[in-house]
Amino acid sequence: MGLTTAQLQQIKQFIQRKGFVYLDVQLEIIDHVATAIEEKMEVNPQLDFNQALVKTHASFGIFGFSTIEDAISNGLSKKYNRFFWRTFLSFFNYKYIVLLFLGAAFTYQVQQLLVGYHWWFAAFIGLTIVSLIILIAVRTYQVKLNQYLSFKLSISYFLATSSLLCFILQFQNQVLLSTTIFGLNTTGACVSLLMVLFVLYLLSAFKTMELGISESTQLQKKYQYLS
Amino acid sequence: MAVNNELFKGTLQTIILNLLAEHHRMYGYEITQKVKAITQGELLLKEGALYPALHKLEAEGLLETSTEVVDNRLRKYYSLSQEGEKEVVNKLQEARDFIQNLQLLLNLKPSF
């Protein structure tokens, strides 16, 4: 015996009252609870919907639905983490290694040319502009996909960007004082390498966000179809 | 006689992978009921154990998911990924070896 749309709505409200607001978390709980209720009412036709709902919730134990939410949250975090690092490491593939080397060499040359002219300030402004563009993109999607845990977790890699940027730029004073090996300013070379790694971090974070957006949008379309 | 949950936990991932290998794709509630039916109620797979295992397997890339509209609601189906299809063979062999060693250690005679 299938549940009515009103009963499914009642389950949704029940779950929301328990504090589970993300739609991708609700999806799995609603289907599990609805199927369990349907079965309970089929086995015992005298059982009404509300009694079956309370019984089903009780079967989840003392932690209630939070077990499912924790499982989904941990699973998504691990999935995006795996994707993020796989993407990051893919840039060290032989196809990109020459590009990375050229990128580091270019950054080093620019830094050496501008070392007496507050190069770090130009770098800071440049990377801040890039970060602002990303922030605007994130905010735009946040309005549409804020109710999806997958989207929220996929953008979490951007949280570390300002700390990473500050970590790199703290070496700016030491570039002028650095020792040279075979004419290479060692601190300058390290800072150039860190900046390239920072750009790769940003690209990996962006690709992870794209995955989160794609998964959340697919789900959103199905929800729109239902309503 | 109900089976001790601690004994069950260690083989949960193997059980899920094997069920999905046999049934192509399943949803959460269906897995709990299938375990109950196969074991005639001896083993009860609780939600608190099932979902963490499912999402862990998914995060490890062993499972794939798809969402479909069923009976006016969305249903998430789990199935084996290519990696999962390879892993299920290893997991089953591990489980067989473990059971064999357990039989030797506890002087149990196989009932088959």
pLDDT of the residue at B1: 46
Record the pTM: 0.83
User: Which comes out higher in pLDDT, residue A119 or A68?
Assistant: A68
Record: fold of B5-105: Arc Repressor Mutant, subunit A (1.10.10)
Neighbours of A97 (CB within 10 A): 11
- Residue A65, helix vs strand vs coil: coil
The Cα A69–Cα A59 span in angstroms is: 16
- Band of residue B31 on the pLDDT scale cut at 50, 70, 90: very high
Domain ranges of chain B: 5-105
Q: Pick from A2, A35, A79: which is nearest to B58 by CB? A: A79
Which amino acid appears at position A145 of this protein? L
CB contact under 8 A, B29 and A79: no
Residue of A nearest to B49 (CA): A67
Give A191-212 pLDDT, tens digit per residue. Answer: 888 888 988 998 999 999 999 9
Assigned token pair, B101 = 């060693």
Mutate to test the interface with A, among B55, B68, B81, B83 (most CBs of A within 10 A): B55
Minimal CA separation from A31 to chain B, in Å = 6
pLDDT tens figures, A53-62 = 999 999 888 8
> Would you call B52 and A74 a contact, using CB atoms and an 8 Å cutoff?
yes
- Per-residue pLDDT for A165 more than 50? yes
The answer, for A83 touching chain B at a CB cutoff of 8 Å, is no
Asked if residue A95 has pLDDT above 90, the reply is: no
pLDDT at residue B2 greater than cutoff 60:
no
| ipTM of the complex model | 0.84
The count of other CB atoms within 10 Å of the CB of residue B109 is 5
